[in-house]
């Protein structure tokens, strides 16, 4: 039996942040990861010799990473090379309509005016003012708060904040609230899509998710070497601070006694003791017996409604017929049907919207020959229910690439240059999820407030990642990693278990 002070289960972005921050503060940290490399959903698939970013591709909210890197004595730009994109995203429809949104507001305003007329441009202006205010008022009391509650929100928001919330119709769904701003159905469709960043349907997500549009308008960056470079940067920083990484190792049980965490048991039977454990897997796994079966409180975690999964194709091929930007979204005309298929009928969409990340674009270097692509359509999280047939997958694939062709984009795909990932594969990679990629669906205005917080009901067991507060997405999960590290620190200080075992670079430890 070996001894480890803090054990972090999972090297998703949240686990990496927690481990690095705690090690920086002098804690002895062991990070246990089932996969053979760090990053979790931030993963690379090698296709025909080319590493393709096959998880998150849109890097936003850099202020969160600025804060995190600062807290460990370094800077984001010293650790990864990032470039701000001029075009945030290119949107296309089958009849040839196109709309680019830009990091520069005035350019987006002109583009909207050309696309939908001056009145809609005025509406876009009104919308932008609203989401700016909304984002500003919600950032402190919600995103940065360790444990937002209705009462704290009401107090923290103040009169101005509450007025802002009321003005968007905070209790109604995103689709209806967007209808207060846009008449053009394609603008509605475009801005409604932001709910899918939280794995949710615009018809069920709360109006507050409209602020995700502001997150993108504040800036989208590309990361040199792909998003995986971010995970590798944290791995490097964590190693330098003494974190002990154990890859290809699965935790089978979190050991508890009398409501306190004792350590973990690995799949080979080895037991590691710990004063605190951070669990970075999907917290749905806790309700499926990852906690000790003798802990009769483990079933207190009810499995909530799952968020979206995805069907993805990582491709290394030549393209033609469409001027790809880095981020491209190809829309169809029956938008609601897509979400009805997924959430009501639990089947792959008959009319999928297709996202294409062209990873070699958005730089000054022109693309020649083959290029790296991630194509993604939303899918139901049914990777563990045996509902997905090969026939359904092939049919969805055919419709997805037919939509791209209709918009002019041809991809020279072969079985050799394409790797497909289904909800079944995502379920295998991320246990207990059915392939859901964003934790619980953000359906209903109360969900953001009731999401599980960093402290669990077991003393010394903390939770981190996209399935807990403040929610999914790389920056939000990173923020939850910070919150879990702070919760561990508070717990160990209260139990007087903290004796720094190392210092890093002479930094103060407390």
Ligand X SMILES: Cc1cc2nc3c(=O)[nH]c(=O)nc-3n(C[C@H](O)[C@H](O)[C@H](O)COP(=O)(O)OP(=O)(O)OC[C@H]3O[C@@H](n4cnc5c(N)ncnc54)[C@H](O)[C@@H]3O)c2cc1C
Least distance from C-beta 474 to ligand X, angstroms? 4
d(CA 6, CA 23): 9
Residues in touch with ligand X (CB under 6 A): 9-15, 32-35, 40-42, 55-58, 250-251, 280-281, 310, 312, 376, 430-431, 437-438, 465-466, 472-474, 477
In angstroms, what is the minimal distance from the CB of 102 to ligand X?
18
Main-chain dihedrals φ then ψ at residue 223, nearest 5 degrees: -110, 125
Closer residue to ligand X, CB minimum distance, 10 or 304:
10
Query: At its nearest, how many Å lie between ligand X and the CB of residue 272?
Result: 12
Closer by beta carbon to ligand X, 164 or else 467? 467
- Whole-number minimum distance, CB 180 to ligand X, in Å? 27
Comparison of 367 and 429: residue with beta carbon closer to ligand X: 429
In terms of CB distance, is 148 or 435 closer to ligand X? 435
Write out the H or E segment, with its range, that includes residue 98: strand 98-102
Q: Minimal CB distance to ligand X: which residue? A: 12
Q: Tokens 């008022």 correspond to what residue?
A: 137
User: What's the CA gap between 34 and 431, in Å, rounded?
Assistant: 10
Work out the burial of residue 225: count CB atoms within 10 Å of its CB; fewer than 13 is exposed, 13-18 middle, 19 or more buried. Answer: middle
Q: Residue 267 CB, nearest distance to ligand X (Å)? A: 8
Q: Which is nearer to ligand X, 205 or 474 (CB)?
A: 474
Distance of CA 432 to CAs 203, 228, 384, Å? 26, 24, 8
Rounded to the nearest whole angstrom, what is the least distance from the CB of residue 310 to ligand X in the complex? 5
Nearer to ligand X, 474 or 483 (CB): 474
CA 132 from centre of chain: 21
Q: Is 54 helix (H, G, I), strand (E, B) or coil?
A: coil
Decide whether 157 or 454 has the Cβ nearer to ligand X. 454
Three state DSSP letters for 373-434: EEEEEEECCCCCCCCCCHHHHHHHHHHHHHHHHHCCCEECCCCCCEEEECHHHHHHHCCCCC
Q: Could you give the CA distance from residue 9 to residue 63 in angstroms, rounded to a whole number?
A: 26
Nearer to ligand X (CB atom), residue 55 or residue 383: 55
Euclidean distance between CA atoms 133 and 208, whole angstroms: 11
Place of tokens 């509450």: 162
CB of residue 119 to ligand X, shortest distance in Å:
32
Cα separation, 415 vs 316, in Å, equals: 11
Identify which of residues 281 and 460 has a Cβ nearer to ligand X in the complex. Answer: 281
CB of 162 to ligand X, least distance (A): 28
CA–CA gap between residue 492 and residue 231 (Å, rounded): 27
For the bound state, the minimum distance from the C-beta of residue 484 to ligand X, rounded and expressed in Å, comes to 10
CB of 462 to ligand X, least distance (A): 13
In the bound complex, what is the minimum distance in angstroms from residue 438's beta carbon to ligand X?
6
Query: Which phi and psi (to 5°) does residue 44 adopt?
Result: -115, 135
Shortest spacing between CB 146 and ligand X, in angstroms: 17
Query: Which residue, 44 or 177, is less far from ligand X as judged by CB?
Result: 44
Q: DSSP readout, 137-204?
A: HHIIIIIT-SS--HHHHHHHHHHHHHHHHHHHTTTSBHHHHHTTT--SHHHHHHHHGGGGGGT--TTT
Residue with tokens 């393209």: 319
Q: The tokens of 432 are what? A: 């207990």
Given 3-state DSSP classes, what are the helix, strand and coil percentages for the chain, each rounded to the nearest 5?
Answer: 40, 20, 40
Closest CA relative to residue 382, chosen from 336, 425, 319, 327: 425
Q: Please, which residue, 56 or 352, has the CB nearer to ligand X?
A: 56
Strand partners, 53: 44
Nearer to ligand X among residue 430 and residue 445 (C-beta): 430
Strand, helix or coil for residue 121: helix
Q: C-beta of 166: minimal distance to ligand X in Å?
A: 29
Q: Which two tokens stand for residue 280?
A: 């970075």
Q: Which is nearer to ligand X, 7 or 157 (CB)?
A: 7
């Amino acid at each position: 039996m070996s001894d480890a002070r803090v054990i972090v289960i999972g090297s998703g972005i949240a686990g990496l942040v927690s481990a690095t921050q705690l090690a920086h503060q002098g804690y002895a940290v062991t990070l246990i990861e089932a996969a053979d490399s760090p990053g979790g959903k931030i993963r690379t698939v090698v296709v025909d010799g080319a590493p393709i970013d096959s998880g998150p591709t849109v890097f936003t909210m850099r202020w969160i990473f600025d804060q995190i890197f600062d807290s460990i004595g370094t800077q984001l730009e010293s650790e990864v090379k990032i470039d701000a994109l001029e075009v945030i995203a290119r949107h296309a429809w089958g009849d040839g309509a196109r709309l680019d949104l830009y990091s520069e507001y005035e350019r987006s305003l002109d583009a909207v005016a050309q696309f939908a007329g001056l009145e809609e441009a005025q509406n876009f202006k009104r919308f932008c003012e609203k989401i700016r205010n909304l984002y500003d008022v919600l950032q402190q009391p919600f995103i940065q708060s360790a444990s937002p509650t209705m009462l704290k929100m009401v107090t923290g928001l103040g009169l101005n904040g509450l007025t802002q919330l009321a003005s968007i119709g905070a209790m109604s769904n995103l689709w209806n609230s967007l209808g207060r701003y846009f008449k053009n159905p394609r603008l509605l469709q475009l801005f409604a899509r932001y709910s899918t960043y939280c794995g949710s349907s615009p018809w069920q997500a709360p109006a507050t998710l409209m602020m995700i549009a502001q997150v993108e308008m504040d800036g989208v960056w590309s990361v040199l070497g792909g998003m995986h470079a971010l995970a590798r940067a944290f791995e490097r920083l964590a190693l330098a601070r003494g974190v002990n990484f154990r890859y290809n190792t699965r935790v089978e049980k979190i050991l508890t006694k009398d409501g306190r965490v004792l350590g973990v048991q690995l799949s080979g039977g080895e037991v590691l003791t710990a004063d605190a454990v951070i669990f970075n897997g999907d917290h749905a796994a806790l309700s499926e017996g990852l906690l000790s079966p003798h802990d009769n409180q483990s079933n207190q975690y009810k499995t909530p409604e799952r968020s979206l999964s995805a069907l993805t194709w990582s491709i290394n091929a030549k393209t033609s017929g469409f001027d790809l930007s880095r981020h491209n979204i190809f829309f169809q005309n029956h938008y609601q049907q897509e979400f009805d298929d997924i959430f009501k009928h639990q089947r792959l969409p008959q009319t999928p919207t297709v996202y294409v990340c062209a990873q070699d674009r958005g730089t000054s270097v022109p693309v020649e020959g083959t290029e790296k692509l991630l194509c993604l359509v939303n899918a139901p999280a049914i990777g563990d229910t045996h509902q997905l047939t090969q026939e359904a997958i092939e049919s969805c694939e055919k419709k997805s690439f037919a939509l791209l062709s209709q918009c002019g984009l041809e991809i020279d795909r072969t079985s050799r240059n394409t790797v497909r990932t289904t909800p079944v594969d995502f379920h295998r990679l991320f246990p207990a999820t059915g392939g859901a990629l964003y934790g619980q669906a953000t359906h209903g205005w109360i969900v953001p407030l009731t999401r599980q917080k960093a402290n669990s009901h077991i003393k010394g067991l903390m939770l981190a990642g996209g399935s807990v507060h403040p929610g999914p997405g790389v920056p939000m999960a990173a923020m939850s990693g910070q919150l879990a590290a702070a919760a561990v620190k508070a717990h160990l200080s209260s139990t007087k278990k903290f004796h720094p075992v190392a210092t890093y670079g002479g930094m103060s430890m407390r």
